[in-house]
Amino acid sequence: MMFKKKATLALSTAFLAMSLLSACTGGSESSSSKSEKPKEEEKVTIKYYNWDNEVMQASTAKYIEQFEKENPNINVEHVPLVPGNSLESLKKLDVLTASGEEIDVFMTPAIDHIYQRAAQGVIAPLDDLYKENKLKPEEEYLVNPIYKGKNYGILTNITTNFVLLNKDALDEAGLEVPKAGWTWDEFSEYAKKLTKGEGTEKQYGAYFHNWGLYANPIAQVHLKHPFMTEDGKTNFKDPSYEYFFNLRRQMEKTDKSIKPYADVIGAKLNYRTEFFNGDAAMLLSGTWMIGETGNVQNNPHDFKTAFAPVPVMKKGDKTDIFTGGHYLAIGESSKNKEAAFKFARFVSTNLTDARTEVPGWKNGEAQPLVKKWIEGKEELYDVDSLMYTLFDSQEALPASDVSITYAAQLDKILGDGFSQFILEDKSAKEVQQWMADEANKVIKENTK
C-alpha cells in the first residue's frame, strides 16, 4: 500500500521542558517565610513563514487555533510571504535570513530546499530535539531529510503522482480505467483514442505541462532521486530519457494527441484549466489535485474524474513511486527552537479537519481523511479508482541516500535539453549526451 494504515493514532508527544520552581531566597528571609509559587511559564511568540494563498490560509488558521488552545504559552504569528508562490516565498525568506531576521519555522515545497539551507547553515538540526522528546524520526515519518548525518526538516504532507482521467470521455471511448503496471505505450494509445474534434473545440487525449516532471516522468517518478543515481552520478544517461523523449515527439507530431509544447510555453497554459475545461482527457499530476477535483468553484466542471497509477516504461517494471512532500524547518537563528519544534510536530501529526493534504506521518490513517475530503462530492470522483490508486496499487520508494544542493541547476538542464529536442528537432541521443555532459559539470563544481 502507498500509505500506511493504523487502527489507532499516536498522541502528540509532550515536551519535557517545564518551568522550574523559584529558588528560595536566603539570608534576610526567616525560615517561616511563605513558600514561593512556581513561576508562570513565559509566553513566547514564534513566526511561521509559508506561501499560503487565501484558500490555504483557512487551513493554517485552524492549525494555529488548535495549537494555541493546547499550548496557551505559545503564540504563533502566521506570515504568508508570497501567497500562492512557494519559490518566490523562499527567495524572500532568504533575503530576511541574510538581513539577520530571526526565523522560527518555515515551510519548503521539496526536500532539496532543505538540503540547500542545511548546507548554508541557516536551519537547525533536529536530532537533539527528537532525542529530548524520545522520538525516532525514522519511526515517525515516511521520509526524513538527512544532511551530513543530521536530521533536518519535518515532513508535513506527502505528494505522489498519479494520472487523472475524464471518466465521461473514457466511457464514450469504451476505455477502462487503467490499473498499476500499464505502460506509457498504452498511455499513448489511450491518448489517441481520446483525441477528438478540431480547432478550439478539440479535446486532446492528454496534456503535458512544461515542468521537468513531464520531460521524463519515468525518471522523475520511478527512481529514488529525480536527477541522481544512488552512487552520486547523473541519471541523464538512463535509457528512459531517449524512450520518453521520442514518445513525446510521436504524440505531438505524429499522433497529434497532446497540445504542442510551443503552445504550452507560449500561451503560459494552466494545467488545471486544460483538464477541468475538457481540453485534455488525461493529466499526469499529484495528490494535491484530490481537493482540486471537488472544488468546482475554482475549477468549474461537471464530469467525473477517475484516477490511475503512473504508467511504467515496459510491462513488468516495478510500480514503486517517488514520494515528495512539504517540509517544515526550524531556523538556526530562532531563540525559541523548542516551541518551533512543538508547532512543527503538531502540524505534521494533525489529522483533524484542518488537514487538506495526505500526511507524511507514519502513525496516522490517511484513508478516512480522503473519504472526508470528497464527502458530498462523490459525483465528481470515481471513488473506487481513487482509493485503489492511493492505497492499493503501489509502494512508496525508500528515501534516496543522495542529498544535493544543486537540484535546481539539474532541473534547468533537463528543461533546456527537452526544449532543444522538441523545438529544435535534435535527436534524443544528442540531447541526452548534452544533458549528461552539462550535469557532470555541475556535479564536479559542487563536489570539489
Compute mean pLDDT per 10 residues along the chain, 448 residues long, and list them.
41 30 35 44 93 90 97 97 91 95 95 92 97 96 91 94 98 98 98 95 96 95 94 96 98 98 95 96 95 93 97 95 93 97 97 90 90 95 97 85 88 97 96 98 92
Q: What is the pLDDT of residue 7?
A: 34
**Amino acid at site 299:** N
CA distance 191 to 236: 26
- pTM as predicted: 0.81
Q: At what angle do helices 239-249 and 407-423 cross, to 10 degrees?
A: 40
Instruction: List the Cα angle 54/326/117 in 5-degree steps.
Output: 110
Distances (CA, A) of 215 to 49, 59, 412: 31, 33, 11
- 80, three cell numbers: 504568508
Q: Write the burial class of residue 100 (CB in 10 Å: 0-12 exposed, 13-18 middle, 19+ buried).
A: exposed
How far is the C-alpha of 305 from the C-alpha of 282, rounded, in Å?
10
Residue 88 phi/psi, 5-degree rounding, is -65, -30
CATH top-level class for 44-158+324-364? alpha beta
pLDDT value at residue 398: 80
In b/e form, how buried is each residue of 363-392, taking b as 16+ CB within 10 angstroms?
Answer: bbebeebbeebbeeeeebbbeebbbbbbbe
Number of DSSP helices (H) and strands (E) in the chain, helices first: 18, 10
Q: How far apart are CA 309 and CA 220, in angstroms?
A: 14
Domain 161-321+382-446 CATH superfamily? Periplasmic binding protein-like II (3.40.190.10)
Q: Do domains 44-158+324-364 and 161-321+382-446 have the same CATH topology?
A: yes
Q: Are 348 and 141 in contact (CB under 8 A)?
A: yes
* Element spanning 345, H or E: helix 337-349
Q: CA–CA separation, 76 vs 269, rounded Å?
A: 37
Would you state the pLDDT for residue 28? 36
Helix or strand holding residue 213 (H, E)? helix 212-215
pLDDT at 2: 56
Query: E strand or H helix at 108, and its extent?
Result: strand 105-108
Q: Can you give the residue ranges of every domain in the chain?
A: 44-158+324-364, 161-321+382-446
* pLDDT at position 40: 58
Given this model, what pLDDT does residue 3 score?
55
* Number of residues written out for the chain: 448
